[in-house]
Structure 1
Amino acid sequence: MKPRICVPLPIERLSELSGMIRRAQNAGADLIEIRLDYLQEDILCQMDVIKKEIAKASVPLIATNREHSQGGKKVQDEKKRVEILIKAAEIGFEYVDIELSTMNLKQTINKIANYGSKPIISYHNFKNTPSEAEMEKIVKSQIEAEASVCKLVTTANTFEDSIRCLLFTYKMSEVTDIVCFAMGRQGTISRILSPIFGALFTFSSLEQGLETGLGQIPVFELKEFYKKLGVDI
């Protein structure tokens, strides 16, 4: 199966949105994640502008408004943060990423799904890679919350952590649509290989300096890795 690459865009101003989406598409992104938590403007007041721009995209878009403790750019009022995600579903984002720890999760998921968006329920561990049993519990919770995609991201402190993530991805891909890899230098190999092990997609930065997670590599480098591995892209 052809590996799918999602390019996250850490856009600080809406004036950058159209050009960045176009650049990501030209770079070969299969999906594009719009990191709304990076925007410096009042997002709720700019939803009409965002709606017009995302309608021009030729690949599926993911709306993410990451909670600060889960890797978000800024501290936000939780009620407003969730409201932005629901509004993102309303204006036409194909996917909306929402943290497993979000308050009133099932209620929020229902609202997102009612607008036709697919909820990606995410979990990030910035310290280590949990045991397989712990990771299975997390994915089970995501499935029970009616995730369209389960996203589980850990931190690799050893090369073995990356291998465990890959084997877990392979196992769980038989059960649900999953995105799973490890962050950090030791986790880079899991980012590269996770789609080959069954992940729905992996993440790759548009270019160096635009990373939104530890261990992300630029999309052109990732494509070069796949070519060297003889993987069809």
Structure 2
Amino acid sequence: TFLSWLSKWELLEDGITLTKETHFALKHTAEALIHMSNFLLEKENFNYFLCGKIQTDNLEERFGKYRLLAGSQYHVSVRQIFESEAELRIQAVMPLALTSHNFGEIIFDVNCVDGASLPSQEENAECNVADILANNCMVDEDDLDEISDAMWPLLTYIGGYCSHQITKKLKCNYCVEFLKGANSENTRLIAASDRGGLSYPHEDVVRIVASVYIIFQNLFRPQ
């Protein structure tokens, strides 16, 4: 059998062999599949057993992403796993399909952008983006006042990054001045990290970032 051949191959002193770790993993997997097939076919009376379905591709893919996000390191720490998991979860909500506790899966389709071409609920029950955004994307002064004081420095820091990215593409110096702001109480996070290259955003830019923050809070808040 294949397992017997692996045992003989392991005892060979000369010739091409696998590393001890790889040989142990291959032998261990073969033994596990044999025991699993005997259990399912004899005791559980399964008609057939598909050995190819027993695999860890999804788990290996996940850990491969952990190693990639950790700087292509093979050995990742627990802290790096938590940080990578946070980044992967952020990437999961970036595609055109959003998942909300209140509304389930929100599908952003080209046909849903234009209200005139929005299909009816009978035609497409999932294409309700226009109604969802209309009910949850209205932000007023009261919503902005509810943001905690500890959150404003973070939103200002994000606004500075947005301003920096936009100014790199603008060729109008007059327009760039509208994106720049002055030092204030909410820019203390930028000031603490600034070495001369960070941007201080205008108040309007920060309000836009805060409005987007409130919209996402409304879409993803639990019922």
Provide the TM-score with structure 2 as the length reference: 0.24
**Which one has a larger percent helix, Structure 1 or Structure 2?**
2
Provide the TM-score with structure 1 as the length reference: 0.24
**Which one has a larger percent strand, Structure 1 or Structure 2?**
1
Between 1 and 2, higher relative CO (CA 8 Å, sep ≥ 6) is seen in 1
Larger radius of gyration: 2
